[in-house]
Chain A
């Protein structure tokens, strides 16, 4: 158990150690400074810019940038939806996936979910998707939507630096550079490491083996290593195989498990540091990192504690002590602690991949995972995690700014009614998109309890309630992990989750960019002794408190009825 804990700590520390230099590199990439890959990509990028007629050096307003983002997303959506619906007419289908394997509604859900960097997987990759769809839709989306999220984040960076101007930088510039100079090289390294550890990378169809019992079994495979790298690095989480990173081909060893965990943390962590380097506010970035880490630890420590104890009821009732902790739904090659560490990591960072069954985790671990998604700003998604944190800063600075007797200002820009309105809508949307669909689902369920119990769920009671809450929390946080125990492939779930994902991806981005645009145009107010320093520890405590009280507490009743009820009933 101690060596397991040691593994958790080392993984985290290595992530931080890698994230700091990466953050510096990212800041250089975004601010157009010389980097070591310029020789390779300058020419390629310019070729594509010429081809598409985009002037990536042009300064764009927030509206123009947002327009670029939204149009690009629309084009991607049409492309993805069409390809998924006609995938069997396209090449690279060695496993002969049937034309009706993926219903249009499932295709819709999958397109939306990957477009939104959510990667909720209501399908099974190996039986419902062709290699072509997996590579040219899903993997492609994993690259570009992650890069688009990062580019949105950089627009926010720009709003801090720029003064009295419409200029928020150029979305295309940040987007393309994110793909070429950040995601691609890191993914290359990660993919090679994974291949070395035995992750398959082949275009051949599934293999067959004869088991010891003499049964012939098919073994799915494919170009997994490349897919896997961007799945983790791009904060996506959608796996090649149904069981995600619990599958031996997707995560064969403890070493790959560690690499994948680090890959999950890497970009969102580095992005916080990139902010510090980009706006030259390293202390502020360190404070943000501190709050995010503290929040993550607060969720992680109780989870590790309870998982290491295992299910105490088993011990009490039938006298089986669980020396290895809670091992139900846990892959033995990773262990209980690594699994719960992954569960918290994948939800704090809006990744959504899994290396075990979340459904089997301790109620406290599930509560922590839920809270991580409900706050969605503890590292969070690529670029968008920082964006949510930025919204919390706006709200916190307003309350804290008042408390020091000055009209609130962030980095010398006054926070006024307009910014407040948008920030409140963005923050409010989060509980709305989680609570309302959860309420709707319990209502629909109550209309015909027996039928829906049979069709939708494996479990019942509090646990099922937690599963419903989890499904919409994961959708809203654009996380993509799932608790299982629910028949997600059904149209009801495909449709409702797709709508939630859609709204929770685009409305906050539109809002945050609008706030960024508004702040960039503002006159800069120089700091004085009366100005609240945002890089102070006190302010960070306030941001954290606002996150807990506003985001977490509005879910208190729901959590009480779900995991808390389960926890207290068992104990």
Chain B
């Protein structure tokens, strides 16, 4: 999903239209701050009409002059419009992002398998939950579902952007397929598991479009604060009427409303929902589907994250890193034998041995090869063959215990040097594989976990954010500890069973911590559900996806780090704009209040520290600034305030300086500039 501009022309057009529709009072009610502005602008509309009718009178009273009223009315309506527009443009952006994801899966032909075994071709849009469809090589998968029969390689690049095909098969943890992906080989039968329009993507689109959007608890608390300010300024404005009458000062209704609208936090009030939607959009942009806005927000608070070692901290699987011959065996000889034993071993470990050797096993001359597969009982694998001299050769490689048994049983001794190597490798966090030819030990292959490049930096960044990382692995404690130290995680769970994850999460939560985890398998589902933030991989099982609050389309286990930043940004943007909005009031007070009393208390001109031209330009400048600051801040609301893991106090100081102190200074400059421009035209 590429994006160059902040928004496209189409989005702009759509948002401009939507912003008008949003004037509907019922829609406005959900935002009390902007609702009061809308009520204010309606009152101004009436006042403008009345003042227009009685324009001939010499004494305008509190009705005020027509031109001034008209100007204030237009600015107030513009204020509401800008706020609506901010929300609409955020929605439009979200829709565009969601649609481009959705497009890939729309209207593909589906081969529905009927009860009698015949196949009907229908549109994917007509698939229902419980239908079974068939996909052969070359077919696009029309809908999310679960493979009930067969195995296939699938190209998921449309969703994940990852070009390497993946294997999907019935049963187990790799049984789910996503609509919009494509079968490359073989044939599968898929059961539709979701209702049309209720896929995760559909849910997300609904969230973004606003129909389903619920306010998050944090948003509600903020709205309470903003409503409090609004009520306070209603009070300030209303009581001012009585104070003014005491001081025999005539203040126009338009001026009261202008003062009121300027003082209430319209900036944050107008941008609040745009900020929330933009947060969802940012999550979606990093290819994460959140099931609720609350989930995104909560990630910002995560204290502890559980990460699987394999694939997250280390690259896929172990890799061979060294050969150690014993008993005066030539190293090259050991390498050749190791390669032979791994000829058709398609495990990543086996492949890595060949890779390390740099040899091509196909050039080896072997007759009547019989390959022995790895089993849980034998804990070894290998090959039996006849060599060029016609000798029967049997090569095995496997775990230390199993191989020692094989050698000892055959009456061969097991060299102590080999045991030394095995211990050395284990203490370095590696896994030793013993290689033997005809029950005689040749040496050891060292397999090592390769820690992903750059992962240490990411963990450091997390630590600076105050997030603890916990590595979950099936390895023994020794290996686990070694990798944990090397990768820089804070804690680890070794020899982990699925219930260990659950127990760890519960323990952390008892201590008041917020825990996030990623998972894919069905046995991860309870832990995903227990965690405050559960992120399921898109290629995970349906059960895992149901239990999680988010689904990562990229199947990238480090994605959590990105989402945490999205969550933090969301909260920070709210805080920063609230601070900015409140700080703005200082300048607005100094612009409007002296202007109101200029006629009756001329000495108050001293308070006109901006030296604004006249009472009416002062008031107009303040409301114009108040209206214009909303669209000016839309890019910030959509992009979010940048998060830096520099520690909370430092971050606060920074944001307070920019948005607090900046919020005091900017309107002084802005209002003065607008006043100068107005003066030029009047």
The residues of A with any CB-CB pair to B shorter than 8 Å are 395, 398-407, 412, 415-417, 420-421, 424-425, 427-428, 431-432, 435-436, 438-440, 442-443, 445-446, 462, 465, 523-526, 528-533, 536, 538-539, 541-542, 545-546, 549-550, 553-554, 556-558, 560-561, 564-565, 568-569, 571
Q: Is B607 in contact with A564, judged by CB distance below 8 angstroms?
A: yes
Tell whether B465 is near chain A: CB-to-CB under 8 Å.
yes
**What's the Cα separation between A141 and B575 when bound, in Å?**
44
The answer to whether B636 has its CB under 8 Å from any CB of chain A is no
Residues of B with C-beta under 8 A to A421: 224
Given contacts A403-B576, A405-B568, 16 further A-B contacts (CB under 8 A): A402-B575, A403-B575, A403-B655, A404-B652, A405-B571, A440-B242, A443-B245, A446-B245, A446-B246, A530-B466, A533-B648, A536-B649, A549-B583, A554-B236, A560-B593, A560-B594
Interface residues of B (CB under 8 A from A): 217-218, 220-222, 224-225, 227-229, 231-233, 235-236, 238-247, 297-298, 300-301, 303, 463-468, 511-514, 567-569, 571-572, 574-576, 578-579, 582-583, 585-586, 589, 593-594, 596-597, 601, 603-604, 606-607, 643, 647-649, 651-653, 655-656, 659-660
Bound form: Cα–Cα A462–B467 in Å: 58
10 chain-A/chain-B pairs, Cβ below 8 angstroms: A403-B652, A404-B652, A432-B235, A435-B239, A436-B235, A525-B512, A560-B604, A561-B243, A561-B244, A564-B604
For the complex, give the distance between the alpha carbons of A569 and B463 in Å.
60
| B582: A residues at CB distance < 8 A | 399, 546, 549-550
State the Cβ distance, B221 to closest chain A Cβ, in Å. Answer: 4
Q: Which residue of B lies closest to A545 (CB)?
A: B660
By beta carbon, the residue of chain A nearest B572 is: A405
A565 to B660, CA, bound (A): 29
B597 touches A561 (CB 8 A): yes
**Least Cβ–Cβ distance between B216 and chain A, in angstroms:** 10
Residues of chain B within 8 A of A412, CB atoms compared: 512
Q: Which residues from B are CB-within-8-Å of A558?
A: 239-240, 243
Known contacts being A407-B218, A529-B465, is A417 close to B246, with CB within 8 Å? no
CA distance A428 to B239 in the complex (A): 14
Residues of chain A within 8 A (CB-CB) of B596 are: 557
User: Which among A407, A431, A443, A561 is the interface contact of B571 at CB below 8 angstroms?
Assistant: A407
Q: Which of B238, B245, B582, B649 has the most CB of A within 10 A?
A: B649
Q: For the complex formed, measure the closest distance between the CB of A244 and the CB atoms of chain B, giving whole angstroms.
A: 29
Given A402-B578, A439-B242, A557-B243, A531 contacting B466 (CB threshold 8 A): yes
State how many angstroms separate the Cβ of B566 from the closest Cβ of chain A: 10
Tell me the minimal C-beta distance from A164 to chain B in angstroms. 9
State the Cβ distance, A219 to closest chain B Cβ, in Å: 41
Q: Is B228 a contact partner of A424 (Cβ separation < 8 A)?
A: yes
Q: Collect the chain B residues with CB atoms within 8 Å of residue A439's CB.
A: 238-239, 241-243
Contact: A427 with B228, CB < 8 Å?
yes
User: In angstroms, how far is the closest chain A Cβ from the Cβ of B219?
Assistant: 9
* A417 CA / B589 CA spacing, docked (Å): 29
Inter-subunit contact A399/B575 (CB<8 Å) = yes
Which residue, A425, A442, A462, has most C-beta atoms of chain B within 10 A?
Answer: A442
Q: A residues within 8 A CB of B218?
A: 402, 407
Residue contact B648 to A554, C-beta cutoff 8 Å = no
The answer for the CA separation of A399 and B224 in the assembled complex, in Å, is 12
Decide if B589 touches A553 in the complex (CB within 8 Å): yes
Question: Which residues of A lie under 8 Å from residue B239 when comparing CB positions?
Answer: 435-436, 438-439, 558
Q: Are the CB atoms of B511 and A526 closer together than 8 Å?
A: yes
Min C-beta distance of B637 to chain A, whole Å: 14
Point out the residues of chain A lying under 8 angstroms from B247, CB to CB.
462, 465, 561, 565
Please give me the 7 A-B residue pairs with the lowest Cβ-Cβ distance, nearest first: A402-B575, A530-B466, A405-B568, A528-B466, A424-B228, A529-B466, A403-B575
Q: Answer whether A529 and B232 are a contact pair too, CB < 8 Å, given A399-B579, A415-B221.
A: no
Give the complex CA separation of A539 and B651 in angstroms: 11
Residues of chain A lying within 8 A (CB to CB) of residue B217: 416-417
Please state if A445 and B235 are interface contacts (CB–CB under 8 Å). no
B563 to chain A, nearest CB (A): 13
